[in-house]
């Protein structure tokens, strides 16, 4: 048997070794941090960024960036301390996303930040892994029947859950307030799970607690995005190594997501799958690696859930402030669908040109993905003559682009669906001026599905309910929480009343 003294020395040696290894790792991170291209910059923009003095005048960082970019002759700015070039110049955007696509991958920095959560899912990879997932997803999302498949799923969710939920609170004095953002997050979670995996998490059944999956998914998404806000990756990497604070919470949330994603795979196997059933079945027909399948599940949830919830939230916020647009949408719906008649087909949705324009206009001002960054592989020069050093982060900024006079004219800040119509028919703008769905090689694959979902919800709710903002404070500019997609801080509390006739 070991003596207590030798046990003590053994224990002391082991802890000493552990501390020594941690000190080496720490030293490595500190050196890496000190060797960053620029730690300090005296320029006014960087000073305002470091001191957060911009927040005295602007509600959100994206509003400050939009202001700076509007005042820049090239429509491009640089935040030197972040090593970030931010542009709203459509020629630059086309160059990054199409012309020199190969020089501007997602890059290692972000794939590391999001890696624990997204793994090797489509949003977090470049090269062959990306090409394979894109091809597979395109086979499913590019099918002609996909729109009507999505329409059936969405209609079921609207008729059996969304409308009954709103009716149950409509007109009630005390509990008639609903957080629409929360409702849309639950709604879109159900829809994307049914659409992509053929399974129903029933998040919108308010009698059931929000599924553990959805809660952990939200937390993991938010905490992963917050990593990008730390002054240096060293901060979150040390916290992750020590498993403390937000990193401890993130690890736990990801563990729950992993367990539940595996459960999704198990259920799908149990129910049986064939290639033309849903996205997950298509991938499962080819891939056996459970971790890779888990990554694919997480990316598709992120793609089709938060973007939809974000769009619907800002759309209903804008309509509450623009009753004339709401009235025009209703008039068009009555003409196309018929007064007192229900929406019955995808084709009817295609005829709703004004609604289509109103949704595009809403996303122009409030894009769900406010900015997107790439990293330059080689030294380069953008079309506006901005020099890009190898390894620099280059960000295109749809939020700022929606506020540029030279793209949208002097009324660029006005919510005006008519700007998208020519002789009453929707006219698609150049995607590099409006990269809300990205553009070029990595353009969103779910745009058509998204539009079916957004239009169905809009038309179904506006024809049945009066929806008003619950609080006067919600009339001012929205404030956003940090996250991978735009989220209203404090949600969107609304008061709902039933209309007398459809
Ligand atoms: C209003 C709704 C939506 C918006 C604004 C939107 C926007 C975007 C954006 C900006 C990207 C590029 C993201 C990046 O590379 O980091 C993207 C990619 C993607 N989206 Fe969407 N999306 C929406 C809905 C959907 C839906 C409903 C689906 C699926 C059913 C979907 C599937 C995808 C996929 C698979 C990609 C990856 C494309 C690639 O990397 O090659 N999206 N989307």
Q: Is the pTM of this model over 0.85?
A: yes
Backbone dihedral region of 342: left (phi > 0), alpha (psi from -120 to 50 degrees) or beta?
beta
The answer on pLDDT for 214 being more than 90 is: no
Structure tokens at 242: 């020590």
Main-chain dihedrals φ then ψ at residue 321, nearest 5 degrees: -95, -5
Return the CA Rg of the chain. Answer: 24
Pocket of ligand 1 (CB under 6 A): 122-123, 134, 137, 303-304, 307-308, 311, 368-369, 372, 436-438, 442, 444-446, 449-450
122/288 Cα distance (integer angstroms): 17
- Is 346 annotated as contributing to ligand binding? no
Cα–Cα separations (whole angstroms), residue 196 to 264, 268, 303, 445: 11, 11, 11, 13
Give exposure, 179-196, as e/b (b: 16+ Cβ within 10 Å): bbbbbbbbbbbbbbbbbb
Per-residue pLDDT reduced to its tens digit, 129-168:
999 999 999 988 888 889 999 999 999 999 999 999 999 9
The answer on pLDDT for 38 being more than 60 is: no
DSSP state of 397: -
Q: Which atom of ligand 1 is nearest to the CA of 141?
A: 30
Judging by DSSP bridges, how do beta strands 84-87 and 393-396 pair with one another? Answer: parallel
Tell me which architecture the domain covering 44-498 has in CATH.
Orthogonal Bundle (1.10)
Q: Which atom of ligand 1 is nearest to the CA of 372?
A: 16
DSSP per residue, 28-57: HHHHHHHTSS-S---SHHHHHHHHTGGGGT
Confidence label for 2 from pLDDT (cuts 50, 70 and 90): low
How much is the average pLDDT of 195-215?
78
The pLDDT of residue 127:
94
Averaged pLDDT score across all residues of the chain: 89
Mutate to test the pocket of ligand 1, among 124, 190, 302, 307 (most ligand atoms within 8 A of CB): 307
Q: Find out whether 374 and 95 touch, Cβ atoms under 8 Å.
A: no
Picking from 180, 210, 118, the residue whose alpha carbon sits closest to that of residue 318 is 180
Domain regions of the chain by residue span: 10-37, 44-498
Which residue bears the tokens 């080819």? 286
> How far, in Å, is the centroid of ligand 1 from the Cα of 302?
9
Backbone dihedral region of 204: left (phi > 0), alpha (psi from -120 to 50 degrees) or beta?
alpha
7/13 Cα distance (integer angstroms): 10
Q: How many CA atoms lie within 13 A of 198 on its CB side?
A: 20
* More reliable by pLDDT, 74 or 259: 74
How much is the average pLDDT of 367-391?
97
Main-chain dihedrals φ then ψ at residue 389, nearest 5 degrees: -80, 150
Confidence label for 206 from pLDDT (cuts 50, 70 and 90): low
In this structure, the residue with its CA closest to atom 5 of ligand 1 is 437
H-only helix segments in 272-372: 279-284, 290-304, 306-321, 323-337, 346-350, 353-365
299/121 Cα distance (integer angstroms): 5
- Kind plus residue range of the DSSP H or E element containing 393: strand 393-396
155/152 Cα distance (integer angstroms): 5
Judging by DSSP bridges, how do beta strands 493-498 and 177-179 pair with one another? Answer: antiparallel
For 137, other C-beta atoms within 10 Å of its C-beta total 21
The pLDDT of residue 455:
98
Judging by DSSP bridges, how do beta strands 84-87 and 387-388 pair with one another? Answer: unpaired
The answer on pLDDT for 210 being more than 80 is: no
How much is the average pLDDT of 94-116?
94
């Amino acid at each position: 048997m070991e003596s207590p003294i030798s046990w003590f020395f053994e224990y002391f040696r082991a802890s000493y070794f552990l501390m020594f290894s941690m000190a080496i790792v720490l030293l490595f991170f500190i050196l890496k941090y000190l060797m960053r291209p620029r730690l300090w910059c005296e320029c006014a923009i960087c000073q305002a960024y470091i001191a957060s003095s911009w927040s005295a005048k602007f509600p959100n960082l994206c509003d400050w960036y939009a202001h700076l970019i509007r005042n820049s002759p090239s429509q491009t700015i640089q935040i030197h301390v972040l090593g970030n070039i931010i542009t709203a110049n459509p020629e630059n955007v086309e160059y990054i996303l199409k012309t020199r696509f190969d020089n501007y991958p997602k890059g290692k920095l972000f794939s590391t930040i999001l890696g624990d959560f997204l793994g090797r899912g489509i949003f977090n990879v470049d090269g062959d892994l990306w090409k394979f997932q894109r091809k597979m997803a395109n086979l499913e999302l590019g099918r002609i029947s996909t729109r009507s498949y999505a329409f059936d799923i969405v209609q079921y969710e609207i008729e059996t859950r969304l409308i009954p939920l709103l009716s149950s609170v409509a007109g009630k004095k005390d509990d008639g307030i609903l957080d629409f953002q929360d409702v849309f997050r639950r709604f879109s979670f159900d829809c994307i799970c049914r659409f992509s995996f053929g399974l129903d998490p029933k998040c919108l059944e308010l009698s059931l607690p929000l599924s553990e999956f959805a809660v952990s998914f939200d937390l993991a998404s938010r905490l992963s995005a917050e990593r990008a806000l730390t002054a240096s990756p060293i901060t979150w990497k040390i916290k992750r190594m020590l498993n403390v604070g937000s990193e401890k919470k993130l690890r736990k949330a990801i563990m729950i997501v992993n367990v539940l994603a595996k459960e999704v795979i198990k259920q799908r196997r149990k129910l049986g799958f064939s290639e033309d059933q849903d996205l997950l079945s298509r991938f499962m027909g080819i891939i056996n690696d459970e971790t890779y399948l888990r990554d694919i599940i997480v990316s598709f949830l992120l793609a089709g859930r938060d973007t939809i919830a974000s769009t619907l939230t800002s759309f209903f916020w804008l309509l509450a402030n623009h009753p004339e647009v709401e009235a025009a949408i209703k008039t068009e719906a009555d003409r196309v669908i018929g007064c007192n008649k229900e929406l019955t087909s995808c084709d009817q949705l295609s005829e709703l040109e004004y609604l289509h324009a109103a949704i595009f206009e809403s996303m122009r001002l409030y894009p769900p993905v406010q900015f997107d960054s790439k990293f330059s592989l080689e030294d380069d020069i953008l079309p506006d003559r901005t020099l890009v050093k190898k390894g620099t982060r280059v960000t295109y900024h749809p939020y700022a682009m929606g506020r540029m006079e030279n793209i949208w004219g002097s009324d660029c800040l006005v919510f005006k669906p008519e700007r998208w119509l020519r002789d009453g028919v929707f006219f698609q703008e150049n995607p590099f001026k409006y990269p809300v769905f990205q553009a070029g090689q990595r353009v969103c694959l779910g745009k058509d599905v998204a539009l079916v979902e957004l239009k169905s919800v809009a038309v179904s709710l506006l024809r049945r309910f009066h929806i008003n903002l619950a609080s006067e404070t919600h009339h001012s500019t929205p404030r956003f929480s940090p996250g991978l997609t735009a989220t209203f801080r404090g949600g969107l509390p609304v008061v709902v009343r039933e209309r007398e006739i459809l």
